[in-house]
Structure 1
Amino acid sequence: MSSKAKQSQKLLLFRLFGSRLFGIGTLKIREILPFQRLTKLPHSHHAVIGTATFRGSAVPVIDMSAAVGYPALTREEQEKASIIVTDIQRQEIGFLVRSVQQIIETDWKSVMPPPKALGTNAFITGLLDLDGDIIQLLDVELLLAKVYPESLDAQDVVLSDLQSETLKSLNILLVDDSQVARKQLSDVLDSKGISYHVTTNGDEALQVMLREHELGHPIEILVSDIEMPGLDGYELTFDVRDNASLKQPYIILHTSLNSEMSLSYANQVGANEALTKFDADELLQAMLRGAAQAG
């Protein structure tokens, strides 16, 4: 690779309540629809206001304001609202927002991590300063986990004794800015008694890799999110591959986007594999492929 990996990010900006601006990556978005008549869903979460018809399929629609703790949109406000149809974690979900503003282009280097004081229940993965306005990037994975808590149930994956022992012998690093994604990754490995390191961003991950290398037990499997503030998964992969002093790990990039473009670019920057979140069996099988290559 002759030049540093750089992947620009387009963000759709919208409003939920008051004048505050929120953002979501456009790669997650399938379409933006005007509000339409919804079919009610019985016994659903209070923020799920019904289903919309999108390209012949019924898509659940979540009032994003209600889901993150703001007042739900009134019936009159809904009539002027928009539905953002997204493709996240292998499912189509519609989000009702008060108003769609514009699309901007930035890069993950410009995105700041949220203050720790916000706590673990804040639906924010990053902040972006746009001409003095602070854009809050929504943690859609956390939002979906609150609305559909069953999605966090640990998946039971069967491994042979040999496969379990193989993974237990590896030095594994997990990297993801989403607390929900970190929990999903951790739960899978914890259930099999597999030890690992975990960080919330690419900068911390690189420091862990350098430290582990100096201690004489380098990271052998790196599982990293792609979309992260600061050093994103693409740039982390590039920096690892560009560091001749590091023992090269097997790199698995992980994304909530069901996007062939994202996965293709992951291979271009040096990742061994790229997976769409979240399938526990696929992840463990990818790690086993990495173990075979390391061996």
Structure 2
Amino acid sequence: MSKLLDSVDQRTQLVGENRLELLTFRLAGRQLFALNVFKIQEVLQVPNLTALPHSNPVICGVTHLRNQTISVIDLSAAIGGRPLKGRENCNLIVTEYNRTVQAFLVGAVDRIVNLNWELILPPPKGSGRSHFLTAITQLDDEIVEILDVERVLADIVPYETGVSDEVLDKDLLAFAQANRIKVLMADDSTTAYHQASSTLQNLGVETVYCQDGLKALKLLKRQAAEGVDICSEYLMLITDAEMPEMDGYRLTHEVRSDPNLRDLYVILHTSLSGSFNQAMVKKVGCDDFLSKFQPDELAGKVQERLRIAMQKQ
């Protein structure tokens, strides 16, 4: 199983080319699920787990791995399915999201697939698990459900969206409210969007939401064609990295390639690893990078731009 992820460094070449790789697996039934390979540290057989009294019911224990203790989440139970039984047939997928490491208990691990983001589609509305999905795709006549891990984790550990008093600048708050400052946000996880937008509300900033990069690009191009000054309309674009149809790297490249959009300030806001994204920021032309989800850091980045905007008036 360790060989499954040996070439992750080589796979970084896919990012920025509107491609991704998914690790597919099953839970308690036949349905095929997937996670992005770049968020996975390793895959291993289930070690001995230590139970935690009074923990969330979907946490089946903790394990000590590579000098740290990590929680193990029964992924089937976490998305409303039946808990996984017979752990001798199960695996752990160790992931890093939002600066935390956690492991997901899953059933059989299937394979890694290389896909174009254009083949990744939004989940159907009204489906039973749709609120736990960011997207779906199809492999060999099977539907693959791509899980919204930010939503899963938010249900286990409630997130904070408030801004510390020492960070919040009330002069900038008044300026943002008086001028109806707006930020465009592109993120396929509605949970991640609500986290960020709630923080921006504390700054007096309004948000305009698009659920993938292609929708955001079409909105910007349409507004520019209608004569809207994009840099006056939006303080900045905050984009996730991985999204259906067009990822954040490709979105940034397209923005920089359009004379009407190229001056828009772009922040890459993602749960993917920071060191990797710092390199990608330079490659595609983002102005800044921010790891999810740190309310004070997000507030600080936005207030920097608000301060510049206020000084120009």
**TM (normalized to structure 1)?**
0.90
Report the counterpart of residue 63 of structure 1 in structure 2: 74
Question: Counterpart of 1:199 in structure 2: which amino acid?
Answer: C
Secondary structure of the residue aligned to 2:188 is coil
Taking the aligned partners of 1:126 and 1:133, their CA distance within structure 2 comes to: 14
- The match for 2:254 among 222, 232, 239 is 239
User: Quick check: 1:83 aligned with 2:98?
Assistant: no
Alignment pair present for 1:107 and 2:122: no
- Equivalents in 1 of 2:152, 2:105: separation in Å? 13
Instruction: Please name the residue that 1:27 is paired with.
Output: 38
The 2-side partners of 1:238 and 1:210 are apart by: 14
**Aligned partners of 2:98, 2:229: CA distance in 1, in Å?**
33
Of 130, 151, 172, the match for 1:163: 172
CA contact (8 A) 1:220 1:248 kept: no
Matches within 5 A, 1:1-295: 5-74=16-85, 77-118=86-127, 122-148=131-157, 150=158, 152-158=159-165, 159-168=168-177, 169=179, 170-213=181-224, 214=226, 216-218=228-230, 219-246=234-261, 248-291=263-306, 295=312
1:274 offset after TM fit, Å?
Answer: 1.1
Does structure 2 conserve the Cα–Cα contact (< 8 Å) formed by 1:27 and 1:259?
Answer: no
What is the distance in 1 between the residues matched to 2:281 and 2:128?
31
Question: Does the 8 Å CA contact 1:82/1:99 hold for their aligned counterparts?
Answer: yes
In structure 1, what residue type is equivalent to 2:66? R
Shift of 1:118: 2.6
Between the two proteins, the alignment pairs up a number of residues equal to 288
Are the structure 2 counterparts of residues 162 and 222 from structure 1 closer, same or farther at C-alpha, using a change threshold of 3 Å? same
In the TM superposition, residue 134 of structure 1 has moved relative to its aligned partner by 1.4
For residue 117 of structure 1, report the CA deviation from its aligned partner: 2.2
Q: Which moved more, 1:168-177 or 1:65-74?
A: 168-177
Mean Cα displacement is larger for which, 265-274 or 91-100? Answer: 265-274
Distance, in Å, in 1 between the alignment partners of 2:162 and 2:65 is 29
| Matches of 1:71 and 1:100, distance apart in 2 | 18
In structure 1, runs of 5+ residues without a counterpart are none
Q: 1:117-137: CA deviations, max 9, x gaps?
A: 237862111111112221111
Give me the whole-angstrom Cα distance separating, in 1, the residues matched to 2:97 and 2:73.
14
Determine what percentage of the aligned residue pairs are the same residue. 34
- 1:31 is displaced (CA, Å) by 1.2
Identify if the C-alpha distance between structure 1 residues 189 and 259 changes in structure 2 by more than 3 Å, giving closer, same or farther.
closer
The 10-residue stretch of structure 1 (268-277 or 282-291) with the greater mean CA deviation from structure 2: 282-291
SS of 1:115's partner is coil
User: Matches of 1:129 and 1:50 in 2, distance apart?
Assistant: 33
SS of the aligned residue for 1:245 comes to coil
Root-mean-square deviation (Å): 2.1
Q: Offset at 1:162? A: 2.7
Q: Distance in 2 between matches of 1:288 and 1:157?
A: 13
Partners of 1:166 and 1:93 lie apart in 2 by: 40
Shift in CA distance, 6/87, structure 1 to aligned 2, threshold 3 Å = same
How much has 1:245 moved relative to structure 2?
Answer: 2.3
Q: How far apart are residue 93 of structure 1 and its match?
A: 0.5
* CA displacement 1:38-94 (0-9 Å, x = unmatched): 1111111111000011102110000111111111112xx112211111111110101
For 2:124 and 2:286, locate their aligned partners in 1 and report how far apart those are by CA, in whole Å.
Answer: 30
Shift of 1:103: 1.0
Bigger shift: residues 214-223 or 96-105: 214-223
CA contact (8 A) 1:167 1:287 kept: no
